[in-house]
Structure formats: C-alpha cells, structure tokens
Amino acid sequence: MKFTYRFIVVIAVLFVTVGTVAAASLFTSTEQKAAEASPPARSDVTVTVESGSIKDTVPLTCETVYRSTTALKASGAPPLVLTRTTVKDGEELTDGSLLAEINGRPLFALIGDFPLYRSLAKGDKGPDAVMVNAALVRLELMAPPAPDVAAVLHQDAVDSVAELYRRAGYEPPAKGKPVVSATDFLVVPKGATVAGAPRTPGSLTGPFATVAMGGAVVECSGVNGKLPTEAKSGQKATTSLSGSGEWPVTVVAAAQEQTTPLGSSSTGGQPGPGAGGAANGTNPSAGGQAGSPADAATAGSGRLQLAATSVGKVGQRGTGTLVLGSSAPDQLVVPSAALWSKDSRTVVTVLEGDARRDVPVEIVYSADGRNAVKAVEPSGLRRGDQVLVSEPGA
C-alpha cells in the first residue's frame, strides 16, 4: 500500500512540472522569441594605421653562379682526340697548368690578355713573345730577361719551355719544331677557374672544359624559371643569398656556351693581338652586354643579375624579390579593406572609444592589398589610429 501511494505522488509531481514548462512557453513574448532567433551582434574589426613604405614586388628564385663562363677548345687539324683529362671542377688555372692531353700531346695554359696568333720559334719577336717570357718568369723557370731581349724568345726561354714539358712528363719540342706551338698552348684570363666537370677521354668535336672568370654572382628568374615580363635593368631586388639590402639588377641574355676556342681563332687563322670578343674568350653575355634587356625580357629566357657585393660560393640556391616600384618612405599605410566610398570620396572610418569619424583620404600608392594614403584634411589621420575594416553599421 505504501509503495503504491509514493508512486502516485511522483507521477503527480512530474505532471505538474511538465505542465508548468509548457504553459510558460505559451506566454513568451514576440520580442523575446525574435531575440532568441537572431544571430549575435557583430563586433567591429579594426586595424592600426602604420607608417612606412609599401612596395610592388615579384617573387624570384635565385642561385649563385659564375659571373661569366667560356669554353675551352683545342685547336689543330682534325681528328682531335682527348686522350687524357687533366683538370677538375673548381681548379684555378695558372701559367703552365696542364689543361688536357690532345692526341697524346700536352695542352698548357698561359695567363695572358690575347690569344696566341702564331707558333713561336727561337728568335721570334713581338708582344706574344713578351707574354710567353712573362709566364715563364712567373713559373720561376727563368730569370727576368734583360730589356733588350724582353720581347724576344731567346735561348733561356727555349730551355725553360723544354723544362716545362719534362716536368709534365712529355718530350720537349724536337729541333726544327716551334718552341711554343699554338696547338700546345692556350691563353686563359687571370683568375680562370674550371666550372663543372670536364669532358672524359674520347673524340673531340667541341669544348673539352668550361672555365669561369670574375667570381660568383647572384642570378635570378621568376618562380616559373622565366624572366618576369616586368623586369628591367636598373630595378632593384633583394635575395637571401646576398645578405640584407636592395641590389641593382641587370637583365642579361640567356647564357650561351661558346664553341670558339679560348686563346685561338675558330678558323685556325692568325688573329692579331688586338683581336677581342670570342677570340680571347670573352663571353658576350657577361655583364649584360649581349642583346638588349627588352629582347631578353620579350623572349622570357633571360636572367636578372644582381650587383651584390656579398655572395657565397657557386651553387647556392635561395629566394628573392624584384621591386617593381615603391611608395615614398614614412607614408600612412592602411589595407584596402579599410577604404570606403562616401559622397564620391574615399574615406577611412576612425574609431575613438565609442565614437567614430569618417576621414577623407587620397591614395598615393597601392600594392599587394595595401595603400599609402594621406588625409585630405590636416591631422585627419595619424599613425596608430584604429580604422574599421568591417562595413560601418554592419
């Protein structure tokens, strides 16, 4: 009996509670129902007015490369066969360096300013003899010649050349043969360094090695590997490969490997000591001297060379930024989302506590969604002001 009574009481209490809740819902006001159905009020979103300069930029991919390169090619009548490889990547060439063995004969390096334009015999006189004598003196194979024989291939020079052959493991030129053969000596510029692995032994129909001059330089292209169409010589760029700062750039044509032998003419003729260009190994593309920047930019195959003074070793890769233009320094900077149009004027809305005011501004430079502006009215906008980037009244 007691159990039945308690059960009836619990049921009654539940019935009353449910009924009370249902009744309360029937008496909720219309305003209350609307408020409960509406989303919460939006908060104002603001940004701080900054001071500085904005830039219009293009991303770059960069690498450190040799400033200029040129090919080494043997001269002489075909067939030409590379019978031994003697230089290695990164080797700096000096007077007497054994560049290669061609058809079983040595090919020595001479440091000079122009190619050999003839083979030299004892007693020959001229600027080429001066160059050979100077190289032999630097090699410490002979003492500096007296002034009256400085331009003559005299007996001391003949003996010194013979010693150079013997030290390299070759028989000196036979009697009746040229002392300095144009096929056994190749003139290279001072500071020339072997760039890349040389050819392996075999038939030669082109260069057997490539050399670089002038040290390393930073070269860049667009992220797609092509020259940005906006690129022009005289612009500036930054790169992670040359420390901080902006560097002037030069548009250079795509590198072209030369097949003209360094230190001799391509036809086997006798160019004089004044012959320049490809004959002495000068790469026409070095330093942006080949073609016009416009041609390179149109083709999309050129490169940007930075005039950076702090460059690491060759082969490093990094990123960069080409600066197409920039605003003046110390400008007031706001994002594009802070600009509104009101009464045919461009304005920003400044929040000051609970108050807000619309400030007319003039856009002086825009790039990448940021704007350098100046207030139309004096002191209308200052660095540090908070401006709306959500629509006023939203």
Compute mean pLDDT per 10 residues along the chain, 394 residues long, and list them. Answer: 50 48 50 53 81 93 89 91 94 95 96 94 96 96 94 96 97 93 93 90 93 88 91 92 88 57 42 34 34 44 84 87 93 94 92 91 93 88 90 51
Assess contact for 193 and 211: CB atoms under 8 A: yes
The per-residue pLDDT for 88 is 94
% the chain with pLDDT above 90? 58
Q: CA–CA distance from 221 to each of 67, 167, 225, 326 (Å)?
A: 16, 47, 5, 21
Nearest Cα to 99, choosing from 109, 89, 84? 109
The per-residue pLDDT for 209 is 94
Token reading at 230: 């906006």
Mapped onto helix, strand or coil, the DSSP state of residue 26 is: helix
DSSP codes of every residue in 251-318: EEPPP----SPTTS-TTS----TT--GGGGT--TTGGG-SS-HHHHHHHT--EEEE--S----TT-EE
Question: How many Å is the Cα radius of gyration of the chain?
Answer: 39
pTM, 2 dp: 0.58
Distance CA(374)–CA(345), nearest Å, equals 13
The per-residue pLDDT for 134 is 96
Cis, bond preceding 79 (omega within 30 deg of 0):
yes
Per-residue pLDDT tens digits for 113-131: 999 999 999 999 999 999 9
Domains, the chain, in order of start with CATH, read: 57-64+215-326 (no CATH), 72-209 (no CATH), 328-388 (2.40.420.20)
The per-residue pLDDT for 288 is 35
